Amino acid sequence: MKSFLNLLFLLAAVVSSAQKSFVKDSVIAFQKEINTEYADSVKSPLLKKDWKEFKSLDFYPISEKFFVNAKFVRTPDEKPFEMPTTTSRKPIYVKYGEAHFSINGKHFKLNIYQSQDLKKIDKYKDALFLPFTDLTSGVESYGGGRYVDLKIPEGDTIAIDFNTAYNPYCAYNHKYSCPIPPQENDLKIEIKAGVKKFKK
């Protein structure tokens, strides 16, 4: 079975949780890095036949509208749970906190999670996981939802740049085991940012 690290290939590059304002160059760097990963025959999650024809992922236009400084509410008393995946694997996560924010004048809440396996690894001890679905899911974006990698914030706000939302590896290859976004992280809005559905 593929490693649970399939969702971490960009953690070191993503700085959205550290910055407080939108930086287009950061998104451009994200896009270049993910394309570089997918074009690499060793690191790419693509099937061999898709990799041979790969040029670039399809991205939504970069938009400052989908960069939010969310109110971060820590939830320290949550109990670890098994997060369902696309396979029989059940990784252990804990709800680490909540992000409260507004887009187009509408208020939203997303739960943010921490992997209980990854926090034991020094490199990823500050890593947080934001899986979500939205009204583009299954239409313009991958039906199984998308992910945003974050880091533990220092204060009571956390920056979320949906322009860095990416597909789980199983969007490209069913052999991977990918966490399924919890129902409470279904946004009733079109998040037209980040990576689109993969066109084979």
Q: What is the per-residue pLDDT across 171-186, written as a single tens digit (0 to 9) for each?
A: 999 999 999 999 999 9
The residue ranges of the chain whose pLDDT is under 50 are 1-17
Is residue 2 classed exposed, middle or buried when 0-12, 13-18 and 19+ CB atoms within 10 A define those classes? middle
Reported pTM: 0.91
Q: Rounded to a whole number, what is the largest CA-CA distance in the chain?
A: 48
Distance CA 65, CA 121 (A): 34
